[in-house]
Structure formats: C-alpha cells, structure tokens
Structure 1
Amino acid sequence: MIRTKQFLPHSVASESGADGTILLRSNYELGPVAKNTGEWLHSWADQAPSRVFLAERYGAGWRKESYAATLQKVRVIAASLLARGMGPDTPIIIMSGNGVDHGLLSLAAQYVGIRTAPVAEQYSLIHGAHGRLQHAIELIHPKMAYVVDADQYGEALKLDALNGVEIVASRPGSNTKVTAFDDLLKGDTGVDVDGAYSTVTPDTVAKILMTSGSTSAPKGVMTTQRMMCVNQTQLADSLPFLRERPPRVMDWLPWNHVFGGSHNFNMMLANGGSFFIDDGKPVKGLFDRTLENLSMETGTLVFNVPLGFSMLLDALQKDNGLKHRFFEELDLIFYAGASLPQDVWQGFEQMAMEVKGEIPLMTSSWGLTETAPATMMQQEPTERSGVVGVPMTGITLKLIPDSDMRCEVRVKGPNVMPGYFEAVEKTADAFDDEGFFITGDAMVFVDKDDLNKGMRFDGRMSEDFKLLSGTWVRAAGLRIDMLAALAPLAADLIVTGQDRNEIGVMIFPNRDALQAAGYSDEQDNGALACPQLLAELHHRLNERAGRISGSSTRVTRAIVLAEAPSLTEAEVTAKGNLNFRKVLTRREALLKRLYDDADSGVAKL
C-alpha cells in the first residue's frame, strides 16, 4: 500500500546499566522551543492575521476567531484580570467544556502568568459528582470561576466552596451576581499588560490539570509553559508535516484532559492551525452532531478514541460524499485511550486508498498528564495498532525489565512536570533517586532485537495480580484480549482473580448490542440473568479456552453487571476510565457471586 512519507524515521540509542536497567533515547536533537504560548500567538497573528484559529457552532454556522482577533481579545481579557489584582497565586477554575470563550480566557490567563484549572464539566452538571468538583475547588483555591451558562450550571455555582469567588459566565442568564464574560472584553487601560507578559518564563505554571483519580484522589499536575512548548516541538520533530502546512482539526476531546487541552489545542496554536470545536461526542444522541459538523468542516488531522473511530467508520461507509471530504486532505489518523480494533484500522486504510490512493499516517503515542503528555511516538507507518513507538526528542526512558523483558517505564525530560500542586510528599514519591518520573506503566518491545520497531503498552504495573498458584496475571493485556473475544457484547470489563484459583471477568454490557441480538433484560441482584446471554458467554469462553494455554490467560467465569459504572460513585472517571478498585469494592457481593459455583447467574467452564 502507498503511504505518505511525512514522518521522521525511528532512530534510538540505548545503554544498559549494571543493574539491568535500559536507557533509551532518540538520536535526533530537540528543535527550537518557544518561550511561552503567547509567543506562538504573536507569531501567527503577525504571519497569518486573518486565518481562523478558534471556531465553534453558532446557529446554522460558526463563530470564528482569527489569530489577530484572538490576540487582541487575549490582551484585553488579560488587562481585566490584572485590574482585579490577579496573578500567579489567584487561579481561575474553568467548570465548562470546550468553547471559544473558554479558549480565550485560558490564553489570556497564560499570557500574564495566571494559572487556570479546567475541570470536567460532568463534575458541575451531575449532582452526584459535585464532591469531585468540591475537591478541586478546595485544592485550587480559585479567585475566579468560569462557566458558559450560569443557569445551566446554577446548582454547582451554589457550592459553599465558591463563596467569595467571582463567577464569570458567557451567558449570565437570570443570575445577577454573575459577571458577564463581555465585561472582561472591556479591558482596563490602567494596567501594564506588556510588563506582565514579559515576566512569563518557561518555568511559569500555566495551568493545573487534575489527574483522573482512577487509582487515588485526583492530584493537581503543575503544567509549566516549558512543558507545553517543548512538547509541541517534540511533536513537530516527530511529524514534520505539521510545519509544512497549517493543520486543521474538528475535535471534541475535552480540554480538562491533557490530550485535548494541551496536545491538540496547542498543536493548532504552535503551528498556525485552525481548531474547529466539535460539540458532538461518540455517544448515542450526540454523534449525529459530529457528523453534521464534519459535513461543514473537515480536518487535516483527526484525533479520537477507538469507539469514536468505530462509529465514524460506520458513518463513512454509508455516506460517500462525507467519506471523500473526510479523506481528501487528511495527513494523520491518531487514536488514543486504547488500541484501535484491527478491523477498524483496516477499514480506514481501505477507504483512504479508495479516495486518495495513499494512506495517512495512522498512529498513536504514549504519555501522561505529568508528561505534557506525549513522550513516545509511533512516528513511522506500521501495519497494526497498539504500538506506541520510541522516545521523542529530548526524552530519556529508563526501562526496568523483568525476566520476560516486560519493562516498567520511567521518564526524564523537559516535558515532565515539576510536581503536584501543594503535595510535596506525593511529588517526592513520584520521582526516583535519579530524577526519573515513575509512571507505573509497563511496556514490551515489539522486537527486542530491533529497538527501532518501538514498544507496545502493556498495562499498569498496579493492575497485575497473582493467582493462588503464584501465577502472575497481566490484567491489562488480558482485558484487551477479552474485549475482542466478547465483542460486541462487552462495552468494558474488569479482570478478576487476585488470591483466587481462577480468572474471571465482570462485564459492563453493550446494551445496544444485547438488544440487537434479542437478549432479554432479566436481572438478578445486580447481574443480568438472561439464560441465552449466559449460554453465549459460556460458548465464547469455551471457544477461547481451546485456543490458548496456560493458567495466566485462561478465563473460566463471567458475570454481566446490570448497572452501568457510576461517575457519582467514582467507579468511572470523567475521562471514561474504569476505577477498577472502586468497582470491585462497591460490587463486592457480585465479585463473590462470580466465584460461587452454585450461582446460576454466572457463565463458567
């Protein structure tokens, strides 16, 4: 197949320590790095003043802000913030999702050294998740809070933790105590915006990003200007086509998450690109809005999670016109969050060849909130998903292998955080005695004899467990395998078996798939008890058992959970990740049922 050539070939160097550790780094030099995000904004406002930077849906069309208009509004908003006496110690908490005003406020704060803290909008909009919002407010101690609509977010704005905090809303509605966002656009000529901008250095903290809280209470990651600016240089070093023509995206990924808010947002700003905000999502009832938006504007890059790509593939197969518009200028297909199913991968390859006669770079990377995020990149073409590539420029990986060459990964580089906000002990625990950030993730080499083929993500070290026999179970890899074996019946699942004799799975079902297959919704104390469904699960477990060997991968029992994972009970994070420990603790009775041989609601071999 013909593939685009706009990539940097892998080239890594390695050295081994006496203790068996491996240091892995890129052979390429890190390119020039901007001082701060304001430098990008000034550059593109000068080079391409009329080019669209930010856009969101407005009625039947789009509200668009050019680079020149963005710079002008950023400076005016920054003046209004400074006039209120705001600075590095008076953060702004942003409680709404993606939007033009959200972006302008964030850039204005960064422009003069004021920290922002974007949090998941679900924490404000879902009553039961207000505890997460309360935790963030009490940690951040903001002087200002922003929401897009004061009526829509009215319940959250009544939290005691926001007493004394100025509330700003794009649509104040009926709340007379709320400052209209338009008031910030009046500016203040009595403050020195240029002077404040001159004090913003690479070490200035630009924003505080909350971790997902999937393994502990959410922590605030101090994200500096250097982290964000270096990471965009690293990305463009790996993907030279970003510098060859201005990129364009139609993107929904939330800005409270490092992938959407730092990786994607700053990729447009750093390279003079255009960011069209997709107000749809890959969920039932909202994906039609994404398709409507794509019918109006398509991108040169596309970012999504595997579920989103699966839904998009199906839609493109049904709409030939949209398929051609989608692929005609596409340089990159980038998935994150999990491996892209191979049939989806191949479907996009085939469509690209049909439309363009060549395949865009299909890839992924690896990183964390603490690393800004991109740290490893599969920057050259590969035939399948799941590979996260090699270290990017300026980064050193410390790999600590076990006897099977499964490596714990630690990271050092200019894109790594200085620490967690107001958490000295947690910061100290996060780094080893050589200054490497301890990620807790595991990797394996695609080919241990050719390191340039890159590495594959192999789960969290903390997710692994032992059976009573002493056999180690690599839960992350097994989870991916079981999701494939149970597709499309399982939306997600948890692998169980710690301190037990057998491996089991607790399944969160794909309700649409169950309905389409004609399975009933019979329930029995928190589990689905449809005999036909249990028989199908037994068949699939048995079929898989005939194809594998070894107790570390043999799954012998399954239970289907009737209740979806709860955000309010912290079973699932705002990013959609399962909190395995919370699910197992909250549903302890169902875990016990899974290992009860007399229970008729369990599929077992």
Structure 2
Amino acid sequence: MQQAEITAPPRYRPLEFGVQSILVQAQPDGSSHVRAEQDLTAYACRMTDRLLHWAQHTPDQAFIAQRERLADGSTGNWRYISFAQTLEHARRIGQALVDRRLSAEKPVIILSENDLDHAMLAMACLYAGVPYCSVSTPYSLVSTDYAKLRHVVETLTPGLIFASDAARYDKAVRAVVPTGCDVVYRTASDNALPHTRFAELLATEATAAVDAAMQATGPETITKFLFTSGSTKLPKAVINTHRMWCANQQQIAQTMPDMVKGPPVLVDWLPWNHTFGGNKNIGLALYHGGTVYIDEGKPTPVGIAETLRNLREISPTVYFNVPTGFEYIARAMESDALLRASLLKRVKMFFYAGASLAQPVWDSLHRVQEQEFGERIVMSTGLGMTESSPSALFINRPDVRSGDLGVPVPGLELKLAPVDGKLEVRYRGPNVTPGYWRAPEATAEAFDDQGFFRTGDAVQWRDLQDPNQGLRFDGRIAEDFKLATGTFVNVGPLRARIIHAGAPFIQDVVLTGLDRKEVGAIVFGSPACLALSGLEAGATQEQIMHSASVQQHLQTVLDQLAQTATGSATRIARAVASTRAPSLDLGEVTDKGSINQRAVLSHRADVVLGLYEETLAHILKPNQA
C-alpha cells in the first residue's frame, strides 16, 4: 500500500503578530462587542512631537526622498530631506501661514501629486496648527467641469491654495479660487493667475510666533481634512485630529511590531489625498523615524516601469500596494533577478488594500519568494477607512486567505450589529473621526446611539468556534441587492468568486440585477488581457476585450461558475466585458484603483439596460442550462 505523501507546512519569514487573543461580549440587542485583549499603550499627543523628537535625536536621517526631475522630463538621482531640514522647513513655511492668519475656518488646500514641496507644506501646516487638505489630482487634471474640486473649495473655504505647477493647475485654480484666497505656485509663467512663489514661503524667517502656534495645538487640533471618494453623492470632508493619527500609529505598532523595529523604509506611490498613503504610510515614517521614497510610478502598463526601477534600487522594510500593483510586480519578478533580490532582501511584510488580491497572484509571489530565499513573505491585509485613520483590523497569523481581515487593533472596540441578515462592523475608539466638517446631519447619521461609527462593511467569523482567528470580509451592505424574486444577492463574496475564477485576466467586476430576475456582470479586464488577446501593444481596449481569446476565457469562467452556482443569487446569467476603464473623474474608481460599484451602476445605466434588453454586442451567457 502506497504511503500518502506528507506535505510540510510553508515556511514564512519570521513576523511577530502583536494581537493574539480577543474578547467577545454578547449584547442584549443581539450585537456583539469585540476588542483586543491587549490594551492600547501611551501614544504621542501630537504628530509634531514626533517630528521634534527625530529632528533632535536623528537629525541627519532622511525623512523623505524623491528623484530629481531632469531637463528632458526624466528622473535622476534621489534628493533627500532630513528630519532636521523638515523641521526647519516646517517652521519657515509655518511662519508664513501664521502671518496669513490661516485656521480651520481658512485652511490650506494642496493641489499636487506626491512631492517634496507637498510634504513640506503639510508638515508646516501641522506645526502651525493649520488644517490642510490634499485633493485628488483628477479633480483638477481630469475633470472638465471641476464640480468636485469646487465642492471641496466651497466646503472648506480655504485661505490658501497651493498647486505645484501653474502650467497644469492654473485653469482649475482659476475656476474655483474664492475671493481673498492666496494662490501659491512652485513654478509659473508670467500669464498665470496672480500668485506667490513657494520659494517665498520657504524663505520666511521663523519667529517665536510659529513656535507658540505649535505649542497651542493639542490632541483635538484638526490636522487635515480627507475627502471620501464619493459615489452618487458629493464627497464628505472627514475631520482628522492629532489624537486620531497618533493613536492609530500606536495601534499599528502594537499590532504589527516588526514593522517598526528599526526605522521603516517605504517605497510608496499611494496618493496622499487618501488615508492609506497620506495617514498610514507617511505616518509610519514620521512616527517611527523612517524614510519614505516617493515612487512616481503607478500600477499601470506605463507607470509600472518607474516603480520597478525604484524597487530595484531601494529595498523597503515593508511594502504596500494595491492588488493591481502586486500583479505587475509578481509578473516582473518571474524574470527579473535584480528586482527579486532587492525587493525581497529585507522586506518583513507585504500589505495590500483597496480590493481583493487574486489567489494566482498570491501564489506567484509566494513561488518566487520560496525559489529566491526558501521562505514566503507574509501577505498581510486588514480593514480600515478614512474615518478610522485608517487601520481598524489587522491579520494576526501568517496563513492568510483571500478575504481575511484579522482582529481589531488595541484600543478600538468593534460592534458587530445585525443588519439585513449580515453583521455590520462598527468602530468606537481614539482613532475614529469626530465627524464630517460642516455636515452635522451626515455626522449624526454616521454614528449609532452608542457612539459607534457605522462602516457599512459586513463581516463574518473565520471560525465560529475560535474567534481568535479573526474576521473575514462579507461585502458592503449597501452593495447587496434583491432580485425581482425577492432573493438577496450577496455582492462581495460573489464578486470575489468571479475575480478568482477569472484570474489573472479579470481585474474587477460590477454586479447587476436590482429588481431583475437574473444576476448580470460588467467585467473589467486586467492588463494581462493584452497578452491573452495576441494583439500588439497599442491595441484599443475594445479590440482587446472583444478578441476571440479573451471572450473565450470569459465564457469559460461563466460556464465554470454556473456549474457551482446554488441558485439565482449565485449564478451569473449574463455578462459583458467593459471596453472602457472605470472613470476617476466620475468616481467609478479611486486613485488607489478600488472600484465603486454604485458609481459604475449609476453612470452606466445604459450598459445595464442593454445587458438585459440584449441590445449590446458580445453579451455572454453560460452554456449550462
């Protein structure tokens, strides 16, 4: 009799998980309260205290770096700004802000990609106690009506608007700048809007007044406004305070202690108008004395080249990206020895957020890691949002599965509230926003009668018998819908199943079927579809997605899903491949690449109608009856 082969468990690069056990308390109303058994320890009162600390103890340590822009538009060597230099810049620019009598009622708006001047102005705002708002660049550079940018300006009533380059931003600034608001440009031509040069702010002599302004700040002082992405409604301005930011950095440190043992080194493209890049990642370096290398690449067919170049040169200690970015990196590492050696040299953990990571991408990364070093790097994730600074849950074990979220960070209390047959996760803790700026009704609606913030995210236990294994994602409650038969469609899990079945060629899916008899799908192809199509680079999205090989792949996916469907709510009865990417301008996708189901359905109502009335070309249906 042949003995069954015993497969050894995978070996992971050592990583300490700080929260191993949680407490769950059932409540009389049917909900449960959940928290980490580990208490939150002391944290800084202000993020500026951490800047002062590092400027004194490691003054020459680089805080932030960016490649120099050459005359031909390419990038060259790295330019570094140390913690001591950051403090000096913050005091000088901060003095200019104090001189202009800026405040929460007249804050700073920043229209710029991630760059050194953007970072220094943000640090100056922190130091001077003036809130700032980094605005999504598509609001200025992609939008044609500037509606969302105008909404941001009208909501905040800024006293100063900074834009990095007048040649690109002047038109947007002219369209929205209010009377009496100062305009600051780094570079500008003579015909630009009347303005102040950024260099003039930097040349301001700091006085005792700016130091007094800093000393007047405290835990409740507003640091910034971060706007929600918005779907069918205009974005809301989330209030962020020093307490929120500092508490969350301490929560992250206690949950993932290895991430901050020694100064963290990040190579990061994530935009600072989002809480992932602007709070979590910048915060890691600022709070723990690390360095952020600004990656001017993007997870796109063109932009990924710069990201790969940077990762070949700089070895991060922790690496953050969205699933699309990891997909490109996994493919490149298969044949790029220098990339493998540099990226995997000292990284302690990979972390993704924004969407589901397809299992084949996950498997590819682990395969390359094992071949290179004989061990896997933990691919971590969690759950968070703008309103929680952002981190709320983190994975607490190496054997992560797609959809796992983990356990709450110390000091944050979860409430698992029954809503429409699901468990909505709600937050209460020091890292949670006090509300939305100048929106009392929206703020009141966001919290329940016990003071828990309503996230709209549904979760379920990974193992009902062992809560310490943590929670799993169960979709967005607002995304779920009923068919005409009254059957609920659980969007999150079904969407994840389609992406997994179609990997690596399906980037994302938007499900349709509200008040219809069948579930349908609008499928967004991944960059890998070009190779599958057999077409040359430069082919249009329509040519790629309507090619015979891509259509056949999607047909195979539909057939396979139909075989495992358990009823009308889990069966994709019709699908169409989208021939245009989701729009940033319309809020269909965020800067990070996560798709907004409601926005897509709202702006593509004609596609949904055509899918069911069968007026669209290339509608696919499963062959199985």
* TM tier relative to shorter chain: over 0.9
The alpha-carbon deviation at position 137 of structure 1 amounts to 0.9
Partner SS for 1:159: helix
The yes-or-no answer on 1:195 pairing with 2:212 is yes
Once the two structures are superposed, residues 19-67 of structure 1 have per-residue CA deviations (whole angstroms, 9 ceiling, x without a partner) of 2111100000102210111100011111111111110111420110111
Q: Do the aligned partners of 2:322 and 2:592 also contact (CA within 8 Å) in 1?
A: no
The yes-or-no answer on 1:360 pairing with 2:377 is yes
CA distance in 1, matches of 2:257, 2:449: 35
Aligned to 2:57: 47
Aligned to 2:11: 2
CA distance in 1, matches of 2:156, 2:375: 48
The alpha-carbon deviation at position 598 of structure 1 amounts to 7.8
CA distance in 1, matches of 2:507, 2:77: 35
Q: Do the aligned partners of 2:39 and 2:411 also contact (CA within 8 Å) in 1?
A: yes
The yes-or-no answer on 1:469 pairing with 2:485 is yes
Q: Do the aligned partners of 1:527 and 1:560 also contact (CA within 8 Å) in 2?
A: no
Structure 2 unpaired stretches of 5+: 1-9, 71-75
Once the two structures are superposed, residues 256-277 of structure 1 have per-residue CA deviations (whole angstroms, 9 ceiling, x without a partner) of 0000000000011111101110
Q: Letter of the aligned partner of 1:24 in structure 2? A: V
Partner SS for 1:148: strand
Aligned mate of 1:251, from 237, 244, 268: 268
1:496-511 pair list within 5 angstroms: 496-510=512-526
Q: Letter of the aligned partner of 1:23 in structure 2? A: H
Partner SS for 1:603: coil
CA distance 1:289–1:89, change in 2 (3 Å): same
CA distance in 1, matches of 2:298, 2:571: 36
1:238-317 pair list within 5 angstroms: 238-317=255-334
The alpha-carbon deviation at position 362 of structure 1 amounts to 2.2
> How big is the alpha-carbon RMSD for the aligned residues of Structure 1 and Structure 2?
2.4
Q: Letter of the aligned partner of 1:352 in structure 2? A: Q
Aligned mate of 1:495, from 511, 518, 521: 511
The alpha-carbon deviation at position 600 of structure 1 amounts to 5.9
Partner SS for 1:153: helix
Q: In terms of mean alpha carbon deviation, does 8-17 or 540-549 score higher?
A: 540-549
The alpha-carbon deviation at position 83 of structure 1 amounts to 1.4
Aligned to 1:118: 134
Aligned to 1:181: 198
Q: Do the aligned partners of 2:354 and 2:592 also contact (CA within 8 Å) in 1?
A: no
The yes-or-no answer on 1:161 pairing with 2:177 is yes
CA distance 1:128–1:511, change in 2 (3 Å): farther
Q: Do the aligned partners of 1:534 and 1:602 also contact (CA within 8 Å) in 2?
A: no
CA distance 1:287–1:439, change in 2 (3 Å): same
CA distance 1:30–1:512, change in 2 (3 Å): closer
Aligned to 2:27: 17
Aligned to 1:432: 448
Q: Letter of the aligned partner of 2:170 in structure 1? A: G
CA distance 1:61–1:173, change in 2 (3 Å): farther
Percent of aligned positions with the same letter in both sequences? 37
The alpha-carbon deviation at position 322 of structure 1 amounts to 2.1
CA distance in 2, matches of 1:597, 1:288: 40
Aligned to 1:444: 460
Q: Do the aligned partners of 2:129 and 2:213 also contact (CA within 8 Å) in 1?
A: yes
The alpha-carbon deviation at position 501 of structure 1 amounts to 1.2
Q: In terms of mean alpha carbon deviation, does 228-237 or 173-182 score higher?
A: 173-182
Q: Do the aligned partners of 2:532 and 2:549 also contact (CA within 8 Å) in 1?
A: no
Q: Do the aligned partners of 1:123 and 1:129 also contact (CA within 8 Å) in 2?
A: no
Runs (4+) of structure 1 exceeding 4 A deviation are 518-524, 526-536, 597-600
Once the two structures are superposed, residues 177-219 of structure 1 have per-residue CA deviations (whole angstroms, 9 ceiling, x without a partner) of 2211111112235551221111110000100000010252100
Aligned mate of 2:43, from 33, 36, 44: 33
The alpha-carbon deviation at position 107 of structure 1 amounts to 1.1
CA distance 1:585–1:65, change in 2 (3 Å): closer
Aligned to 1:86: 102
CA distance 1:523–1:409, change in 2 (3 Å): closer
The alpha-carbon deviation at position 545 of structure 1 amounts to 1.0
CA distance 1:214–1:536, change in 2 (3 Å): same
The yes-or-no answer on 1:74 pairing with 2:90 is yes
Partner SS for 1:203: coil
Q: Do the aligned partners of 1:166 and 1:178 also contact (CA within 8 Å) in 2?
A: yes
Structure 1 unpaired stretches of 5+: none
Aligned mate of 1:320, from 337, 345, 363: 337
Partner SS for 2:565: coil
- What number of residue pairs does the alignment pair up? 603
CA distance in 2, matches of 1:580, 1:402: 20
Q: Letter of the aligned partner of 1:408 in structure 2? A: E
The alpha-carbon deviation at position 75 of structure 1 amounts to 1.1
Aligned mate of 2:577, from 540, 543, 560: 560
CA distance in 2, matches of 1:274, 1:115: 23
CA distance 1:142–1:206, change in 2 (3 Å): same
Aligned to 2:391: 374
The alpha-carbon deviation at position 341 of structure 1 amounts to 1.8
Q: Do the aligned partners of 2:320 and 2:352 also contact (CA within 8 Å) in 1?
A: yes
CA distance in 1, matches of 2:176, 2:137: 18
CA distance in 2, matches of 1:536, 1:282: 23
Q: Do the aligned partners of 1:489 and 1:514 also contact (CA within 8 Å) in 2?
A: no
Q: In terms of mean alpha carbon deviation, does 416-425 or 2-11 score higher?
A: 2-11
Aligned to 1:340: 357
CA distance 1:162–1:576, change in 2 (3 Å): farther
Partner SS for 1:546: helix
Aligned mate of 1:584, from 576, 598, 601: 601
